[in-house]
Amino acid sequence: MNDAYRGLPAGTFNIQAQEQVVFGQPAGAVVVALAQQLGARRVFLTSSRSLARLTDGPLQRIERALGAHHVGTMATIRAHSPREDVIEGARAARAAKADLLVAVGGGSVLDATKAMLMCLWMGLDTPESFEPYRNGTAPEIARKIVAPPDAIRMIAVSTTLSAADFTPNAGLTESATHTKQSYSHRLMAPFAAVLDPAATLDTPHDLLFNTAIRSVDHAVESYCSPLANPATEPLSLQGLRLLYRALPAIQANPAALGPRMDAQFGMWQAIAGSVGGARTGASHGIGYALGATFDIAHGHTSCILLPAVLQWNAAVNAQRQRGLSEAMGAPDTPAWELIRALVRQLHLPGTLRDVKVGPEHFAEIARRALVYVNLKDNPRQISRVEEVIEVLELAG
């Protein structure tokens, strides 16, 4: 390195292939305007069974707004985005001759829809056909996802606070092994994210709040990341600040749109540092293993693991964590205590016991967790099963 640059922050800030974030407006009207902007005439929607059961929820309002341009809906996407659901949705969109996908739902719906784009671009039609394209595939069989020049894109209308609408990554579950796998392409980032606070009104509080803690996890781990820099740090802290303020306000006044809008801005800012390049750490990595093995929502894994990981990491970054406490308005209280208290206030599971995971499971979770690259990016080195078990014991 040139001596003149020694001591300067060095790295890369990734800019996503997302062209618009539209906020504070009814999602139906926004989707219609975006479809017109893209020249789309055959719009296919994806969602979940819970949203499909509503009579006047965000899915139904968007379907009505699209009118004749709505050519179909696949609303059977399950939690953790199984590969099989992606194939089902891609087949339905292909049969409908869709020229735009609109995902309406939480992180599982959004991630599955991103992967549907991959299937439509490349003609993938079986769960097994995904294998060579996943991140981390053995080099001798790895292949690149390729988007055609006229690649179909998607719009995301989030009904939770997971922030999947701001990333180019799709996390899918390989059902046979219960393993979470990641697929990425820059054009898998939604062309536009639509932040309509009214779209969250029908979301059960447990789901809304646990996905919000997932976004808190994004903010915290990106701020504590060894790759954090002056471009990512303000984003992470602003995301945390907004979420920490908004969530109790939503709990106190569920009908008010203002706090929900604050929380949507919070999830956006919280993920921005992470997708920019300040990668997540052990809470995410161990959480992937815990969630996929025991079918626990990612938001719940963050509720349980983030305070424990912060407590474990404090041996090497306690001063850094003070910045998190300051963002939450209590600089003299450890960040892990503040987040654990917030989880309790929101009536979310805060320990492994709450989700019926005991010490007899720790070794298997630890073994599975070590395959996730997130552990390599943790501020305190984690490379052994015994170290993961230490974290799990703090989360017990």
Please report, in tens digits, the pLDDT of each residue of the chain (396 residues total): 578 998 888 888 999 999 999 999 999 999 999 999 999 999 999 999 999 999 999 999 999 999 999 999 999 999 889 999 999 999 999 999 999 999 999 999 999 999 999 999 999 999 999 999 999 888 888 899 999 999 999 999 999 999 999 999 999 988 888 777 899 999 999 999 999 999 999 999 999 999 999 999 999 999 999 999 999 999 999 999 999 999 999 999 999 999 999 999 999 999 999 999 999 999 999 999 998 889 898 899 999 999 999 999 999 999 999 999 999 999 999 999 999 999 999 999 999 999 999 999 999 999 999 999 899 999 999 999 999 999 999 999
Per the structure block, which two tokens stand in for 180? 């979470």
Using CA atoms, how far residue 127 sits from 6, 186, 204, 257, in Å, is 48, 22, 31, 40
C-alpha closest to that of 79 among 102, 59, 106, 51 = 106
C-alpha closest to that of 263 among 316, 321, 203 = 203
pTM, whole model, 2 decimals?
Answer: 0.94
What is the DSSP secondary-structure string of 68-118?
GGEEEEE--PPTT-BHHHHHHHHHHHHHTT-SEEEEEESHHHHHHHHHHHH
d(CA 44, CA 238): 35
Q: Is 272 left (phi over 0), alpha (psi -120 to 50) or beta?
A: alpha
Per the structure block, which two tokens stand in for 307? 């305070």
C-alpha closest to that of 136 among 376, 373, 306 = 373
Residue with tokens 């979770």: 365
Per the CB < 8 A criterion, the answer to whether 156 and 262 are in contact is no
Instruction: Burial-class residue 141 by CB neighbours within 10 Å (0-12, 13-18, 19+).
Output: exposed
Helices (H), 277-369: 282-294, 298-327, 335-345, 362-369
